[in-house]
């Protein structure tokens, strides 16, 4: 993967001066914004010694702490991202993609959930430990080849799993974690300068230490052998730089929560200009200028937020929502500049040819497992039942209590089964059409688009029926699919570009869901958490009917197109030679995947990993043929979501764990194993 750059000579002092001037202008505008009626004229009067006490109080208590938080976070995240990109030689490395922010986030929330109150510096230490563990895991999983996108996949998979646990803690410990949902999206809202003052020396010390390592980083960029020749230990240097980068990220998360994409975008912008500006390639210039650009991004996002939605939005809407959306757009632009090369596949090598007898035994075994999962789902929950109770309910002879329990439980069982099958089929289609074993509707943003449209409709029309919600989800999924597949098609649906653009759209959709909730229903965080975590709670047979119709229609349609799906998985030339209309067939199959994803998301919310895990496991069990893989994947997906939902309804009853959290907790280790297996197979 390479980035195309042009060469134009600009002066480094001129560029640095322009950045500083722009930053000062943004900071000045930032100080004039707020809920209090204190504008630029009032602040100018304060500088001249003619200001009022009220204006001075607002400046000291509110405006300056928010500005200080933005400056510290911008410096910390941007510098950390620049350092991580250098030591990993990966333009996509950042505190986000290495799951450092997610690791620090879960560490702080975990401490708060147990009712432990600790001071700021101790919180920073806890965040540092969590972030360092996450970074080590991601670097281990992403090593061994596969290109820069491998790191994004490893980091996003771990982040999804960690954030699922965070949501679980927020749902189950609402009093202990009060206010951490908004903080978890990255908020600059500060009460006083105390926290910023305590963390500023940490950020300054880590930043200074990285500057002292600038020469080592310059030499390390030439290669490990060149570094050893001049007496530099590459491994020791990498460890030291990663520790310092994690320390910076932990300080930022402690102060404001995880503000997304700043650590990726700021250094990426500077590196894009490195060929245009003489001297910018050196880390002594690259690190401080990345820090300045990071501050500009954070403060600029905060300014844009309050310009677009008003001063009160600066209090209610986390700044991280804006940086995530802007960062996602930038990442799409960056993805379009990449030259796609290499394969990130982890699954094609896992497919083995199976005999008909072995396939038949596999299907029979899965049917038995699925039947057992359905029985367990019917019997288990906050109230335990017996098989006789279910038999009486089916024959209409059950009592009122059993009828009520099964009348509310069985629609949930049906929703879990159908949603699991739908997402597994959608994942198998997308992987086959794109020839990308890591493609999945949730990773590619289709699930996020469906969720955004569905929750938008439910916010505007709370009593909307299942068909209307499914229609809205279909529109959202279609828009997301058009964006992802349309932009990726410019490079022939290249694997790296496709996943990178989908990753961006997915994060942007989740950020917009948060924005929608905060702006329209700021006191109902549980609504957003439940939807984004995926849940079958409150489902009825009527609400599940659209999903049942779509799955029933998809099965014969996919059976008829199984040969086309096999041919598309080979290359572009073979299908044409055999009479397959490539564009039309791809469009039909992707449309089927979008419809399946949209209706599943409308029924149970956002559930990840099912569309990735089920097809992978199906290939291992039944082989790569679509005729065998599709039904196997559907059975596996149905069983996975059903078991996850049953576990969620049972282990902490009467409290319930959303099914999406359970699948994320189960799916993250499996996805990590896939990456590790692929790493080992490369030697």
Are the C-beta atoms of 150 and 436 separated by less than 8 Å?
no
pLDDT at 624: 79
pLDDT at 201: 95
pLDDT at 7: 44
Distance, in Å, from the CA atom of 555 to the CA atom of 540, rounded to the nearest integer, reads: 23
Cα dist from 653 to 109, 168, 405, whole Å? 23, 14, 14
Distance, in Å, from the CA atom of 496 to the CA atom of 46, rounded to the nearest integer, reads: 53
Are residue 278 and residue 186 in the same domain, yes or no? yes
Are the C-beta atoms of 567 and 581 separated by less than 8 Å?
no
Backbone angles phi, psi at 39, to 5 degrees: -105, -165
Are residue 554 and residue 639 in the same domain, yes or no? yes
Are residue 363 and residue 286 in the same domain, yes or no? no
Secondary structure (3-state) at 39: coil
Distance, in Å, from the CA atom of 630 to the CA atom of 642, rounded to the nearest integer, reads: 18
Buried b (16+ CB within 10 A) or exposed e, 240-249: bbbebbbbbb
Are the C-beta atoms of 291 and 74 separated by less than 8 Å?
yes
Cβ-based burial of 76 (10 A; exposed 0-12, middle 13-18, buried ≥19): buried
Length of the chain: 683
pLDDT at 411: 92
Cβ-based burial of 433 (10 A; exposed 0-12, middle 13-18, buried ≥19): buried
Are the C-beta atoms of 258 and 72 separated by less than 8 Å?
no
Secondary structure (3-state) at 338: strand
Are the C-beta atoms of 164 and 671 separated by less than 8 Å?
no
Give the domain-ending residue among 337, 365, 398: 337
Sorted by sequence, the CB contacts under 8 Å of residue 108 that are 6+ apart come out as 123, 126, 127, 130, 180, 253, 254
Are residue 443 and residue 307 in the same domain, yes or no? no
Cβ-based burial of 17 (10 A; exposed 0-12, middle 13-18, buried ≥19): exposed
9 part of a folded domain = no
Give the domain-ending residue among 337, 358, 383: 337
DSSP for 515-538, written as a single string: HHHHHH-TT-HHHHHHHHH---TT
Distance, in Å, from the CA atom of 419 to the CA atom of 417, rounded to the nearest integer, reads: 6
Are the C-beta atoms of 485 and 597 separated by less than 8 Å?
no
143 part of a folded domain = yes
Are residue 625 and residue 520 in the same domain, yes or no? yes
Give the domain-ending residue among 303, 337, 371: 337
Residue 620's domain comprises: 348-681
Backbone angles phi, psi at 444, to 5 degrees: -85, 5
And the tokens for 617? 């496991």
5 part of a folded domain = no
pLDDT at 314: 66
Are residue 566 and residue 671 in the same domain, yes or no? yes
Are residue 153 and residue 35 in the same domain, yes or no? yes
Cα dist from 164 to 107, 300, 668, whole Å? 13, 30, 10
Are residue 167 and residue 242 in the same domain, yes or no? yes
Are the C-beta atoms of 342 and 144 separated by less than 8 Å?
no
Looking at the structure of the chain, the number of domains it has is 2
Q: What is the value of pTM for the model shown?
A: 0.81
Are residue 521 and residue 544 in the same domain, yes or no? yes
Are the C-beta atoms of 592 and 558 separated by less than 8 Å?
yes
Rounded to 5°, the CA angle 399-402-403 comes to 80
- Going by C-alpha positions, the residue among 57, 257, 241, 145 that lies closest to residue 496 is 145
Element (H, E) at 449: helix 446-460
DSSP 339: E
Are residue 145 and residue 294 in the same domain, yes or no? yes
Sorted by sequence, the CB contacts under 8 Å of residue 458 that are 6+ apart come out as 464, 469
Give the pLDDT confidence of 2-37 residue by residue, as tens digits. Answer: 444 444 455 788 888 888 999 999 998 888 887 777
42 part of a folded domain = yes
Are the C-beta atoms of 586 and 507 separated by less than 8 Å?
no
pLDDT at 345: 46
Distance, in Å, from the CA atom of 350 to the CA atom of 620, rounded to the nearest integer, reads: 6
175 part of a folded domain = yes
- Rg of the chain on CA atoms, in Å: 26
377 part of a folded domain = yes
Are residue 379 and residue 266 in the same domain, yes or no? no
And the tokens for 312? 């009160």
Are residue 100 and residue 236 in the same domain, yes or no? yes
How many CA atoms does the CB half-sphere of 180 hold within 13 Å?
A: 26
Rounded to 5°, the CA angle 128-187-161 comes to 55
- Going by C-alpha positions, the residue among 670, 515, 506 that lies closest to residue 158 is 670
CATH of residue 50's domain is 1.10.3470.10
Where the chain has pLDDT below 50, the residues are 1-8, 341-350, 683
Are the C-beta atoms of 261 and 330 separated by less than 8 Å?
yes
36 part of a folded domain = yes
Backbone angles phi, psi at 360, to 5 degrees: -60, -40
343 part of a folded domain = no
pLDDT at 353: 60
């Amino acid at each position: 993967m390479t980035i195309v750059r042009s060469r134009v000579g600009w002066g480094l002092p001129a560029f640095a001066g322009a950045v500083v001037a722009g930053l000062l202008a943004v900071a000045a505008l930032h100080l004039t914004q707020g809920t209090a009626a204190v504008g630029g004229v009032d602040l100018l009067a304060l500088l001249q010694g003619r200001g009022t006490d009220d204006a001075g109080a607002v400046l000291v208590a509110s405006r300056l702490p928010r500005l200080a938080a933005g400056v510290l976070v911008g410096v910390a995240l941007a510098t950390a991202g620049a350092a991580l990109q250098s030591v990993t030689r990966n333009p996509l490395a950042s505190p986000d993609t290495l799951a450092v922010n997610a690791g620090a986030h879960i560490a702080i929330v975990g401490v708060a959930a147990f009712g432990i109150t600790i001071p700021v510096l101790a919180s920073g230490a806890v965040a540092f430990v969590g972030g360092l563990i996450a970074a080590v895991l991601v670097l281990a999983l992403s090593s061994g080849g596969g290109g820069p996108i491998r790191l994004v996949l490893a980091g996003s998979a771990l982040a999804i799993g960690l954030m699922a646990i965070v949501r679980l803690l927020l749902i189950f410990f609402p009093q202990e974690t009060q206010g951490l949902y908004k903080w978890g999206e990255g908020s600059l809202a500060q009460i006083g300068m105390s926290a910023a003052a305590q963390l500023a020396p940490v950020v300054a010390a880590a930043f200074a230490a990285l500057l002292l390592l600038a020469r080592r980083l310059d030499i390390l960029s030439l290669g490990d052998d060149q570094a050893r020749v001049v007496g530099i230990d590459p491994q020791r240097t990498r460890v030291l730089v990663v520790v310092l980068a994690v320390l910076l990220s932990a300080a930022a998360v402690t102060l404001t929560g995880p503000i997304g994409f700043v650590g990726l975008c700021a250094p990426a912008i500077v590196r894009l200009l490195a060929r245009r500006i003489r001297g910018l390639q050196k880390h002594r210039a690259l690190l401080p200028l990345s820090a300045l650009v990071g501050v500009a991004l954070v403060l600029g996002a905060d300014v844009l937020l309050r310009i677009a939605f008003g001063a009160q939005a600066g209090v209610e809407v986390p700044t991280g929502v804006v940086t995530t959306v802007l960062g996602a757009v930038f990442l799409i632009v960056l993805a379009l500049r990449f030259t796609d090369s290499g394969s990130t596949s982890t699954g094609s090598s896992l497919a083995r040819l199976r005999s008909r007898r072995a396939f038949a035994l596999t299907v029979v075994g899965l049917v038995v497992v699925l039947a057992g999962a359905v029985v367990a789902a019917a019997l288990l929950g906050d109230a335990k039942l017996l098989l006789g109770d279910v038999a009486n309910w089916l024959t209409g002879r059950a009592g009122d209590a059993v009828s009520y329990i099964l009348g509310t439980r069985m629609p949930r069982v049906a929703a879990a089964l159908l949603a699991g099958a739908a997402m597994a089929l959608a994942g198998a289609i997308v992987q086959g059409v794109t020839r990308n074993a890591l493609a999945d509707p949730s990773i590619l943003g289709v699930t996020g688009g469906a969720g955004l449209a569905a929750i938008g409709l439910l916010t505007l029309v709370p009593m909307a029926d299942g068909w209307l919600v499914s229609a809205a989800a279909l529109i959202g999924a279609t828009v997301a699919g058009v964006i992802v597949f349309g932009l990726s098609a410019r490079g022939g649906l290249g694997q790296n570009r496709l996943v990178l653009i989908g990753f961006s759209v997915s994060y942007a959709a989740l950020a917009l869901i948060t924005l929608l909730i905060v702006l329209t229903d700021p006191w109902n965080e549980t609504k957003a958490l439940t939807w984004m975590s995926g849940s079958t709670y409150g489902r009825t047979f009527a609400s599940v009917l659209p999903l049942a119709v779509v799955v029933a229609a998809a099965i014969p349609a996919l059976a008829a197109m199984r040969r086309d799906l096999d041919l598309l998985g080979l290359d572009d030339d073979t299908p044409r030679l055999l009479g397959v209309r490539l564009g039309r067939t791809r469009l039909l199959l992707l449309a089927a995947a979008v419809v399946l994803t949209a209706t599943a998301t409308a029924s149970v919310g956002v559930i990840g990993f099912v569309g990735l895990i089920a097809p992978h496991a199906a290939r291992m069990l039944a082989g790569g043929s679509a005729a065998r893989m599709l039904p196997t994947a559907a059975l596996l997906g149905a069983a996975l979501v059903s078991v996850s939902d049953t576990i969620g309804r049972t282990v902490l009853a009467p409290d319930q764990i959303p099914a999406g959290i359970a699948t994320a907790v189960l799916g993250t280790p499996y996805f990590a194993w896939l990456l590790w297996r692929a790493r080992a197979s490369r030697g």
